[in-house]
Structure 1
Amino acid sequence: MTADLAPSRHPALDGFLEMLLAERNAAANTLSAYRRDLEDVLAFLRRRGSDLVAAETDLLRSYLGTLSAADLAPRTQARRLSALRQFYRFLVEDGQRKDDPTAALDAPKLGRPLPKLLSESEMLAVIEASRTLDGAEGARLLAMIELLYATGLRVSELVCLPLAAILRDQPFMTVTGKGGKERLVPLNPPAKAAVVAYLSVRPSFLGKDQTSAFLFPSRGKEGHLTRQRFGQLLKEIGLRAGLDPARISPHVLRHAFATHLLDHGADLRSLQKMLGHADIATTQIYTHVQEERLKSMVEAHHPLGQTSKKRAKKADSIGDS
C-alpha cells in the first residue's frame, strides 16, 4: 500500500481514496490533497460529536463558515467543498448514505481577481530609473519599457516584435497577436525616441556578420530576448526605482497602460482594440479596478469615509467588550 493510501483514521475515507486510485487513476499529489482536506473536515466533525458518514448539511455548512472566518482564499474553500461533494457522492453510490448533505451547500463566490498595477508616479519612477542605465542594455531596456507602457503589448508580442514593425515612419505600429490577428497600436513620442536611440546600439546584440528579423535580437536559441529574461530585468529596475520587485512584471505594465488610459478618458472599445482582447468583457475588468481605487481613495481621504471607519472600529470594540 502506498503512502497516499496508508490507512487513515476513517474507513469510509480509505474507501474513497481507493476508488480515486482504482477508477480514476488519481495521482499521488491528488490523493494527498483529498486526504488532507477530508481529514480536516473529519477533525472538525469529531470535535462536534459527529462523523464523516453521518454529518448533516447544517454541520457541513458550519465547517465551511469556519474556513471563511479564517480568511482562507475562496479557491481553497471551493476546493474543500468540491472534495466534500465528491466524497458524499461516493458514499451515496456505495450505499453508505441515502442522501447527499452537500447538495444544498452554496459554493463560495470566487470573483475575478483584480489585476496588479503600478500608479502613474511609480511608472514614471521605473522609466526614470531605466534612463540612468548606461550602454546598449540600458537603451534596450528603456525602449522595451517605453514600448510596453505606450502600447499595452503582451510580453510575448513585445519580445517577438519584428524589426520591420518600427521601420515605417508612422504614428502606429502593426502587431500580430493571438490567433495571428493583426492590430494597430499607437506609438507616443517617448516610445518612438527610445526605440530610435536603441536602434543605434542594436547591432551589439548580434554576432559578427549576423542579421535578425527581430527588433530585440539575442544570440540565444530563440533568436530574441526571452520573456523570462525581460521579466528579470524589470524586477531589477523596479528595485532600482524603489519598488518591491514582486510588484512589477511585464503583465503589470500592460495593466498599468490600460488603467491609466481609462483614467484619462479612453473608452472601453478603443482599449479593447489596443489590448487585442477578443471579448470586451475581458477589458471591463479595468473598470472594476477604477471602482476599487475610487472606493479606497474615499475611505482614506474623505471625512465621511474616515467617520465610517471610526464607527466600525467603535462597533468592534463594543462587540469585544
Structure 2
Amino acid sequence: MVGSSRISLFLEMMAAERGASLNTLQAYQRDLERFADFLKGQGQRPDRATPSDVRSYLEDLTAEDLSPRTQARHLSSLKQYFLFLMEEGIRNDNPVGEINPPKIGQSLPKFLSVDDTERLLDTARDAKDKEEVRLHALVELLYATGLRVSELVSLKASQTQRDPRILTVLGKGNKERIVPLSLSAREALDTYIAQRQTFLSSGDQVAGHDQGWLFPSRGKSGHLTRHRVGQLLKELAIKSGIDPKKISPHILRHAFATHLLENGADLRSVQKMLGHSDISTTQIYTHVLQDRLQRLVLDHHPLSNKG
C-alpha cells in the first residue's frame, strides 16, 4: 500500500507543480502501476526497486514484444518517479540513472494523400443528420488546423466565437497559440454550432447546465472523447472507401502539416500552428517530402537528363 500511495503523491506533484495534462498523468499512472504489478510478483515494492529490478522489468517488456519507443517511455516514467522520491528524501539514489534507454529508430509520420483527404472530406460534407453534421465539423477542424485530438475535444464553444477567422487553442504546457480557420472549416463549424444544444442531455437542457464544451457528450468527461473521435473517423473512412487503418486524428494532423509544406509553407509557420516547442520536432516532415523534392530535381534540373 505504501508503494501505491507514493505513486499517488508523485501524480499529485506532477499535476500541481508541473502542470501535467490529464493525458500525461494517465500515461504515468499506467506505466507505474504496470511496474508495481511486475514487482509485486517479485515480492518487491516500486519505491524500493534496485537497478536489477528495473533491468528485469525492461526484459519483461521486451519479452512482450513492446517497441523500443514504448520501452523508452516506461523508462522515462520510472526516472521521473525516482527523481521525485529523491527530492522527497524517500531514497538517495535513482536506480534508472545508469540504465541506457533502448535505441529508437526515427520513424516517419504516416499521412494521407491529398486525394484521399479530399475523398474523406467530400463524404463528410454529405451530412444529413446531426451526427453527420458534427462529424463534418470534426474532420474540417482537424484538417484545417492540425489540432491534437486532445485539444480538439477540450475546446470550449466560446473559443470559436471571438474571431471567425481564427481559433485560440490551449496546447501542451498550457501554452496558447492561434491557428487560422479555413472558410470551409468555419462554415462546417457554424452549421454544427446551430445544432450543438441537441447533444446536451435532456436534463441539462432543462436545467440549463451547459458546461460550455464545443463538442458536449453525455459521458463522464462531459465532452466527446479522443477514443470516440477515432472511432467516428474510421467509420467515415470505410464509408469513403479508404482503408480505416490509414485514418486517425493524428494522421489528419500529419496531413495538415505535410500538405502545407508541399504547397510552399515555411517550417517556422507550420511549427507555430502545430504547437511544437522545438522546430526539430517539425523537421521530421521534411523527410516525408524527400521523394517529392528528388522528383522536382529530376524533372526540372537542366542537367538531370544529360548523360
User: Same fold judged by TM-score > 0.5?
Assistant: yes
Q: SS state of the match for residue 177, structure 2?
A: strand
Question: Structure 1 residue 25 and structure 2 residue 53: aligned?
Answer: yes
Alpha-carbon displacement from aligned partner over 1:218-270 (angstroms, at most 9, x marks no partner): 11110100000000000110111111111110000000000000111110111
Alpha-carbon displacement from aligned partner over 1:195-238 (angstroms, at most 9, x marks no partner): 00001111110023231311101111101000000000001101
| Corresponding residue of 1:131 | 125
| Corresponding residue of 1:203 | 197
| Corresponding residue of 2:17 | none
| Corresponding residue of 1:283 | 282
CA shift at 1:112, angstroms?
Answer: 1.1
Taking the aligned partners of 1:254 and 1:114, their CA distance within structure 2 comes to 13
| Corresponding residue of 1:270 | 269
Alpha-carbon displacement from aligned partner over 1:22-46 (angstroms, at most 9, x marks no partner): 9723698755677899xxxxxxxxx
**Are the aligned partners of 1:161 and 1:215 in contact in 2 as well (CA < 8 Å)?**
yes
| Corresponding residue of 1:216 | 215
CA shift at 1:296, angstroms?
Answer: 7.9
| Corresponding residue of 1:252 | 251
Question: Structure 1 residue 160 and structure 2 residue 188: aligned?
Answer: no
- Structure 1 207/117 Cα, relative in aligned 2: closer, same or farther at 3 Å? same
Question: Structure 1 residue 189 and structure 2 residue 183: aligned?
Answer: yes
Amino acid at match of 1:143: A
Question: Structure 1 residue 178 and structure 2 residue 169: aligned?
Answer: no
- Structure 1 195/111 Cα, relative in aligned 2: closer, same or farther at 3 Å? same
Q: SS state of the match for residue 281, structure 2?
A: helix
Taking the aligned partners of 1:206 and 1:213, their CA distance within structure 2 comes to 10
**Are the aligned partners of 2:114 and 2:259 in contact in 1 as well (CA < 8 Å)?**
yes
Comparing 204-213 with 120-129, which one deviates more in the overlay? 204-213
Structure 1: gaps of 5 or more residues: 1-17, 38-72, 80-107, 300-304, 306-321
Amino acid at match of 1:245: P
- Match runs of 1:7-156 below 5 Å: 24-25=52-53, 30=58, 110-156=104-150
Taking the aligned partners of 1:28 and 1:212, their CA distance within structure 2 comes to 47
Amino acid at match of 1:25: D
**Are the aligned partners of 1:74 and 1:109 in contact in 2 as well (CA < 8 Å)?**
no
- Structure 1 194/269 Cα, relative in aligned 2: closer, same or farther at 3 Å? same
**Total equivalences in the alignment:** 219
Taking the aligned partners of 2:160 and 2:64, their CA distance within structure 1 comes to 54
The alignment's C-alpha RMSD in Å is 3.5
Taking the aligned partners of 2:64 and 2:158, their CA distance within structure 1 comes to 55
Taking the aligned partners of 1:171 and 1:238, their CA distance within structure 2 comes to 28
The TM-score normalised by the length of structure 1 is: 0.61
The TM-score normalised by the length of structure 2 is: 0.63
Taking the aligned partners of 1:22 and 1:167, their CA distance within structure 2 comes to 54
Structure 2: gaps of 5 or more residues: 1-41, 43-48, 73-101, 299-303
Alpha-carbon displacement from aligned partner over 1:156-189 (angstroms, at most 9, x marks no partner): 0001111111112431111110111101100010
CA shift at 1:131, angstroms?
Answer: 2.1
CA shift at 1:282, angstroms?
Answer: 0.4
**Are the aligned partners of 1:114 and 1:289 in contact in 2 as well (CA < 8 Å)?**
yes
Q: SS state of the match for residue 289, structure 2?
A: helix
Instruction: State which structure, 1 or 2, has the greater radius of gyration over its C-alpha atoms.
Output: 1
Taking the aligned partners of 2:67 and 2:199, their CA distance within structure 1 comes to 46
Q: SS state of the match for residue 179, structure 2?
A: strand
Taking the aligned partners of 1:222 and 1:30, their CA distance within structure 2 comes to 34
CA shift at 1:109, angstroms?
Answer: 7.6
Alpha-carbon displacement from aligned partner over 1:55-82 (angstroms, at most 9, x marks no partner): xxxxxxxxxxxxxxxxxx9959x99xxx
Taking the aligned partners of 2:292 and 2:256, their CA distance within structure 1 comes to 16
- Structure 1 219/34 Cα, relative in aligned 2: closer, same or farther at 3 Å? closer
Q: SS state of the match for residue 184, structure 1?
A: strand
Amino acid at match of 2:106: R
Amino acid at match of 1:155: V
